[in-house]
């Protein structure tokens, strides 16, 4: 290659380099990574799709925004302490605004699929408790709260082990962030067998997609 050839090659290469740098700058300006970072760390445990694989990590996909935000605030302020501090450490190191962005991200994802289990394995009594409660024991129907309003978590299609743990934690006062102690009262009326049966029933129920 002669000198002229080298010079034009150099010009071409430096032009491409300038272009690449410019593209990098444009992308850097246009893509807001703060939203991405908000849920990226969460995804390690809760999944990118909000459907965690390990059953000790709750599925967050499609949970109401108000519920998720309250839990994150409760973890941050050490009002919910039933997970040996994992989530308090997670929430404590982040600003409430960042946590809200993560909550928004998860609340907008489609709800998780139900766990597949043969209907014959599921205790009929669990469905009756969920739908009607038990007036003889002053037990309200779970459905009357769970399923509609934004402050109540959706229980259907959640991990069975997670649901059972929460109910046992309310029952034993390890989880104490329920307003007015509402879930602590309810969980104390339930027997340990009813808790296991309810968790098994709920995990296997499909959850409807909600319009928000």
Q: Which is nearer to ligand HEC, 42 or 157 (CB)?
A: 42
Dist CA 34 CA 146 (whole Å): 32
CA dihedral 57, 143, 200, 81 (to 10 degrees): 30
Reference 91, options 48, 81, 153; nearest CA is 81
Number of residues that bind ligand HEC (CB under 6 A): 42
Q: Which is nearer to ligand HEC, 96 or 117 (CB)?
A: 96
42 touching ligand HEC, by CB under 6 A: yes
Q: Which is nearer to ligand HEC, 27 or 191 (CB)?
A: 191
Window 1 to 40, contacts with ligand HEC (CB under 6 A): none
Dist CA 78 CA 69 (whole Å): 14
Residues 91, 99: contact at Cβ < 8 Å?
yes
Return the number of other C-beta atoms located less than 10 Å from residue 56's C-beta. Answer: 12
Q: Which is nearer to ligand HEC, 6 or 65 (CB)?
A: 65
Q: Applying CB under 6 A, which residues contact ligand HEC?
A: 41-42, 44-46, 56-58, 60, 68, 70-72, 82-83, 86-87, 90, 94, 99, 102, 129, 140, 142, 144-146, 151-153, 155, 163, 165-167, 177-179, 182-183, 186, 198
């Amino acid at each position: 290659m002669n000198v002229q050839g080298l010079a034009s090659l150099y010009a071409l290469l430096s032009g491409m380099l300038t272009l690449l740098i410019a593209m990098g700058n444009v992308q850097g300006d246009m893509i807001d990574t703060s939203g991405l970072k908000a849920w990226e760390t969460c995804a390690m445990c809760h999944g990118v799709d909000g459907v965690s694989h390990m059953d000790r990590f709750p599925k967050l996909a499609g949970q109401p925004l108000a519920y998720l935000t309250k839990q994150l605030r409760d973890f941050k302020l050490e009002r919910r302490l039933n997970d040996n501090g994992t989530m308090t450490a997670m929430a404590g190191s982040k600003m409430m605004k960042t946590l809200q962005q993560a909550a928004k991200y998860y609340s907008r994802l489609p709800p998780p699929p139900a766990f597949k289990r043969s209907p014959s394995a599921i205790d009929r009594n669990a469905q009756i408790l969920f739908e009607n409660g038990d007036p003889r024991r002053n037990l309200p129907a779970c459905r009357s709260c769970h399923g509609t309003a934004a402050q109540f978590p959706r229980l259907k299609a959640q991990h069975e082990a997670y649901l059972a743990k929460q109910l046992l934690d309310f029952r034993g006062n390890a989880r104490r962030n329920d307003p007015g102690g509402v879930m602590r009262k309810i969980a104390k009326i339930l027997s340990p067998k009813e808790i296991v049966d309810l968790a098994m029933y709920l995990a296997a129920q499909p959850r409807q997609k909600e319009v928000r």
